[in-house]
Amino acid sequence: MLRGPPRLLKVSVAPVAALAVALLSSLSRCSLLEPDDPAASALSPYFGTKTRYEDANPGLLPDPEAPRRDPELLEDACTPVQLVALIRHGTRYPTAKQIRKLRQLHGLLQARPSGDGRAGPAGGRDLGAALADWPLWYADWMDGQLVEKGRQDMRQLALRLASLFPALFSLENYGRLRLVTSSKHRCVDSGAAFLQGLWEHYHPGLPPPDVADMECGPPRINDKLMRFFDHCEKFLTEVEKNATALYHVEAFKTGPEMQNILKKVAATLQVPVNNLNADLIQVAFFTCSFDLAIKGVKSPWCDVFDIDDAKVLEYLNDLKQYWKRGYGYTINSRSSCTLFQDIFQHLDKAIEQKQRTLEVLL
């Protein structure tokens, strides 16, 4: 039986988004069987596109390298001919834009009139002072780059896929593997980490070499394929560069639900409400997620919001993704046709090759 060359694609569909999209009910974390996970907060189920992969898939926690399905079951039911995987990048730093907003917020906290800090409101804990003292450890150079945890995400994903499809990932197929990535740093680095994970699969115990020295070669950059949205004129004109395309998002940012949060946060942090806006609040919310995902620490930013706030901020992010990447405008999905055409052509070719081999055998 001929197995077509496994082909792996690497993509960043939403360049502003950090982590997995799927959400998780907080119930599974309460289960006694789950190890106590210090990197989760009550807000974790509401981080949307900034959700930690472990929160979307709690099975990763006990053994991140073990496949979640029984490989034998899969091989019995059907014969894998080719694998095409469209993979998002691993955990990353905030973007420079997010870091600038966080710094702005930090400046507001440090400039508070009660800036001597320690003396909080009567008897209560002064969260504003705690946050003003909380070190701002994000720097501009980090600008959305892959973090060490993100390299692990990719390495472990490669090991899980290789164990799940042992026949496809046979040693003889190794050299036929192709990896395509966008030119985004975090995606190129994710691709390299993925290939290093595979190297471990083929050479257990050996330290992986530089990707340039691997049998399959380094990830190939193809932005036209992987960042199709950047190359679609209609999308650029009607959505990306159109100041009014996200008018529903703008309306929600100034609507009553957000105004309530602005007032609440201004009172909690003791800063003037006029100095706050929805963007700053959203960055504060995601900072809780970034600190958890990257550093594994629960920062005081997580204490600024309750579950009701989290639901509003989750909705704000969903709304933005809906209009910018999702179903809001037809062109959003249509811009991906070139990528899907490429995928289907490779699948068709693999099937054709397999049939031809069978004919020769007959």
* Active-site annotation, residues: 89
Query: Least distance (Å) from ligand NAG to the CB of residue 325?
Result: 15
**Plot region of 203 (φ>0 → left; ψ -120 to 50 → alpha; else → beta):** beta
Query: Least distance (Å) from ligand NAG to the CB of residue 95?
Result: 24
User: Bridge partners of 7?
Assistant: 84, 178
- Which residues make up the interface to ligand NAG (CB under 6 A)? 237-238, 242, 244-245
Query: Least distance (Å) from ligand NAG to the CB of residue 329?
Result: 7
Which residue, 86 or 236, has its beta carbon nearer to ligand NAG?
A: 236
Question: 3-state secondary structure string, 4-44?
Answer: CCCEEEECCCCCCCCCECCCCCCHHHHCCCCCCCCCCCCCH
Query: Least distance (Å) from ligand NAG to the CB of residue 238?
Result: 4
Which residue, 230 or 303, has its beta carbon nearer to ligand NAG?
A: 230
